[in-house]
């Protein structure tokens, strides 16, 4: 389990508590903050799961590429937003290429 997954679970718990308490006292601002923290927590947890999966892939990679793969994984950990955008871009590119092949 990565630090991101742990932090994500903590933010989710905090967000759910804030939302519930905000509903109980009728504080809309607290409800919105809770929803934000809950969403942030889910995002962190998902990112952590992805990093964990990549760690497992690096372990299975041939020994000749493991150092470069670990280096790339280190960059992904230091720059989560850039990593997320990059993965999304590749996904969109692949979806576009697959869509063209069906026509």
- Where along the chain do its domains lie? 3-102
Given a cut of 90, whether residue 17 has pLDDT beyond it is yes
The least confident of 5-14, 19-28, 67-76, 91-100 is 91-100
pLDDT, mean over the chain: 85
> Is residue 9 within 8 Å of 59, Cβ to Cβ?
no
What pTM did the predictor assign? 0.66
Task: Give the Cα separation of 19 and 33 in Å (integer).
Answer: 7
pLDDT at position 102 is 58
Mean pLDDT for the stretch of residues 56-69: 87
Mean pLDDT for the stretch of residues 34-52: 88
Quick one: which of 53, 34, 40 has its CA closest to 7?
40
Given a cut of 80, whether residue 48 has pLDDT beyond it is yes
Given a cut of 80, whether residue 40 has pLDDT beyond it is yes
């Amino acid at each position: 389990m990565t630090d991101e997954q742990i932090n994500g679970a903590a933010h989710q718990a905090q967000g759910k508590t804030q939302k519930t308490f905000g509903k109980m006292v009728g504080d809309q601002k607290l409800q919105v903050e809770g929803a934000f923290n809950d969403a942030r927590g889910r995002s962190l947890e998902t990112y952590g799961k992805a990093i964990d999966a990549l760690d497992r892939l690096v372990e299975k990679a041939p020994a000749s590429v493991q150092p470069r793969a670990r280096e790339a994984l280190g960059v992904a950990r230091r720059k989560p937003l850039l990593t997320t955008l990059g993965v999304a871009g590749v996904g969109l590119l692949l979806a576009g290429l697959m869509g063209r092949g069906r026509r």
